[in-house]
Chains A and B, each alone.
Chain A
Amino acid sequence: MKELSLNILDIAQNSVKARAKNIEISIKEDDSVLEFSVKDDGCGMSEEFLSRVTDPFTTTRTTRKVGLGLPLLKMEAEQTGGSLEITSTEEGKGEDHGTFVRALFRKDSIDYIPLGDIVGTLCVLVQGADNVDYIFTHEIKNKETVEFSTKEMREMLGDLPLGTPEVIAWLRDFLEEGYKQQ
């Protein structure tokens, strides 16, 4: 992927497919490290599936036999000297089921891929979020900077769907304004 924000989009789409109701996306960065995590309350993965989930030949796809999302992310993180951590509890195997993915990147590596258009990623996720709630926080140098919660948005919107183009336009402006103030 050309931007880390595309990986975030891909990983969060996995959470949607895992029937998550709540997805928390968090980005933390300083001058030398960027770390992002995606935490969901979806159906989770079995231990067996989890053990081979970063293998490119592991996939839930039905259209072809090669997945690529997580193996790519692992490679991209490790190439910078960073790491990928995945933990998961399968539905029915404990109270808190779901999956947690955290990727750490070292920014001083020549293989570091920039975060890119995170606003574009969030607009796509919220546009498709009929049955999902997102909490997003982006912390730069330990200072909380840009954040939103779709639950708060829904309270204002009542019956109007979150994915309504006018609402997505508002979200884009809201986020761009937030980043501009940094």
Chain B
Amino acid sequence: MKTLEELAAIRDRMKGRVALREGSNDIRIVVGMATCGIAAGARPVLNTFVEEVNNAGLTGEVTVTQTGCIGICQYEPVVEVYKAGEEKVTYVKMTSEKAKEVMEKHIKGGKPVTEYTINI
């Protein structure tokens, strides 16, 4: 049985490991979550990134956030990756599978998966 008390245990475990949101995290993954993104399949993409960050224990280093429509609805689901000191990388037509690959190769491995990117 899952209980609310388990959240207190998570809090204690995470103490000091979670940097203050917005700012000190090294990598930011931004997923478009307006009507266009949602209709195109952004929900599993966002959830996959959140799950993968959890599985990899990268909560202190990687932040996943949601944003509205960025104006390229035909390419949704759109994901932007910001790394300190590097140019923004924009992924288009994302899926859960592609999100896992981006997580492995780009977020952990440091190399953008250029076959899914677009220059805007």
Interface residues of A (CB under 8 A from B): 1, 6, 9-10, 13, 17, 61, 63-64, 67-69, 117, 120-121, 123-124, 127-128, 130, 152-153, 156-161, 163-170, 173-174, 177
Contacts and interface: CB of A to CB of B under 8 A. Distances in A.
6 closest A-B pairs by CB: A165-B54, A156-B7, A174-B2, A63-B71, A128-B66, A69-B35
Nearest to A174: B2
A168 B51 CA distance: 8
Given A1-B39, A13-B33, A170-B7, 19 more contacts: A6-B38, A9-B43, A10-B39, A17-B68, A61-B69, A121-B43, A124-B43, A124-B46, A127-B46, A152-B4, A156-B4, A156-B7, A160-B10, A160-B18, A161-B18, A161-B21, A164-B14, A167-B10, A173-B2
A123 B59 CA distance: 16
B59 to A, nearest CB: 5
Interface in B49-108: 50-51, 53-54, 59, 64-66, 68-71, 73
B10 A166 contact: yes
B59 A165 contact: yes
Most buried by B among A64, A120, A124, A167: A124
Interface of B: 1-2, 4-8, 10-11, 13-15, 18, 21, 33-35, 38-39, 43-44, 46-47, 50-51, 53-54, 59, 64-66, 68-71, 73
Which of the listed residues B35, B68, B70 has the most CB atoms from chain A within 10 Å of its own CB? B35
B43 A168 contact: no
Given A69-B35, A156-B11, A120 B1 contact: no
Contacts of B14: 160, 164, 166
Contacts of A128: 33, 65-66
A167 B2 CA distance: 12
Given A6-B38, A124-B66, A157-B11, A177 B2 contact: yes
Nearest to B71: A63
Contacts of B39: 1, 6, 10, 68
A10 B32 CA distance: 12
A156 B8 contact: yes
Contacts of B69: 61, 63-64
B43 to A, nearest CB: 5
B6 A170 contact: yes
A67 B35 contact: yes
